[in-house]
Structure 1
């Protein structure tokens, strides 16, 4: 699946994938994308690795339902943010299980991120940051600087 949205450097993505380099065991990884125009492949170098689930939920919960000869096992619930830390998108991730899997489902999160405490009044009180390097200089000073003219005093 493709996701097209405005880039947010702080957005944490959680991916669950079958890693072809690791006997197709399911792996989970949490990462932020880098600010680059190049394509970023979070599935790894092996083209046979496949995505099971991708979410941008802050505190994702996953249900791992076992199948095959492991279908007698109770489903496992994983709190992704407690199971693995946020790393780079190239990181391998952490293996979920070695048991046979029927499905992996995303559950409703049990907690939400706390809203920021800033109010509109606090935001308007701050002075805007001045990014102009020539702020406060006279037009003559700017011309002298451009032409290489120096001052004696």
Structure 2
């Protein structure tokens, strides 16, 4: 044992090549083993796994109970947004616990922006913001942390639309509702950005409408990309060299017996 420099190490099965069932496998060590432990159970990288969320027990499952969240493989994660303005992503483990104030629970698409309208308690104004998750391993709050700040609406649609209902002022006609295309109203900014002010008028209610239809391009795994009119490119053959060339009629020997080109 004294000659062994490393007494404990990890083995990542994802790094081991897949072989036939009759294969003997890879040698882990030639020394005697005291104990083997399962350190971490990862998701399958061979095929996606369907995961559902059962709202009755607030748990994930693979048995088809509740709402289908999506198909997960490799490093895929779940997006969670809370009414308190907190956003985070998690690994879809079946033992995960969830809070009651969730307003969004879905498969996370890193390039898909999150849009929100919130009330800032300090400025007493409504703001619109659109952002991307900047740190997938960190829980962050995307509204101001004033006690009176409040998240009005949040959406993960590509082109969300909101309707703003204004408060009726005394002895005045109520202003007509305002429809806002959030994608056009503000560009994607940092998660900590304040956002753009929605209006200076008093707001009675903010409601989400049907989003503008949009079909985003799908990122296909390399093995699923169809190859059309595949061609095999062959290397050009090397020209043959005649080891015994016939004498050229235009090449004549000179007086010294050497061949002359002219």
Return the TM-score normalized by structure 2. 0.42
Please state how far the C-alpha of 1:44 moved relative to its aligned partner.
2.3
Please state how far the C-alpha of 1:43 moved relative to its aligned partner.
0.7
Q: For residues 33-52 of structure 1, what are the structure 2 equivalents within 5 Å?
A: 33-52=133-152
Q: Which runs of 5+ in 1 are unaligned?
A: 126-153
Q: Deviations over 1:30-80 (max 9, x none)?
A: 001123422211012324311000110110111101113176111001010
Give the Cα–Cα distance (whole angstroms) in 2 for the partners of residues 108 and 18 of structure 1: 22
| Closer/same/farther in 2, CA of residues 4 and 118 from structure 1, 3 Å limit | closer
- Say whether the 8 Å CA contact 1:17–1:27 is kept in structure 2: yes
Greater fraction helix: 1
| Closer/same/farther in 2, CA of residues 39 and 115 from structure 1, 3 Å limit | closer
Please state how far the C-alpha of 1:95 moved relative to its aligned partner.
0.8
Please state how far the C-alpha of 1:118 moved relative to its aligned partner.
6.4
Q: Which residue of 2 aligns with 1:106?
A: 208
Return the TM-score normalized by structure 1. 0.70
Q: Secondary structure, in 3 states, of the residue corresponding to 1:85?
A: coil
Range 109-118 or range 54-63, more displaced:
109-118
Give the Cα–Cα distance (whole angstroms) in 1 for the partners of residues 136 and 222 of structure 2: 32
Q: How many residues align?
A: 124
Give the Cα–Cα distance (whole angstroms) in 1 for the partners of residues 109 and 155 of structure 2: 14
| Closer/same/farther in 2, CA of residues 9 and 94 from structure 1, 3 Å limit | same
Instruction: Select which of 115, 123, 133 maps to 2:225.
Output: 123
Give the Cα–Cα distance (whole angstroms) in 1 for the partners of residues 105 and 219 of structure 2: 29
- Say whether the 8 Å CA contact 2:168–2:175 is kept in structure 1: no
Q: Which residue of 1 aligns with 2:130?
A: 30
Give the Cα–Cα distance (whole angstroms) in 1 for the partners of residues 136 and 212 of structure 2: 33
Please state how far the C-alpha of 1:9 moved relative to its aligned partner.
1.8
Q: Which residue of 2 aligns with 1:78?
A: 180
Give the Cα–Cα distance (whole angstroms) in 1 for the partners of residues 106 and 164 of structure 2: 29
Q: Which runs of 5+ in 2 are unaligned?
A: 1-82, 84-101, 228-262
Q: Which residue of 2 aligns with 1:68?
A: 168
- Say whether the 8 Å CA contact 1:64–1:104 is kept in structure 2: yes
Q: Which residue of 1 aligns with 2:122?
A: 21
**What is the RMSD of the two structures over their aligned residues, measured on CA atoms?**
2.6
Give the Cα–Cα distance (whole angstroms) in 1 for the partners of residues 107 and 212 of structure 2: 27
Give the Cα–Cα distance (whole angstroms) in 2 for the partners of residues 118 and 39 of structure 1: 29
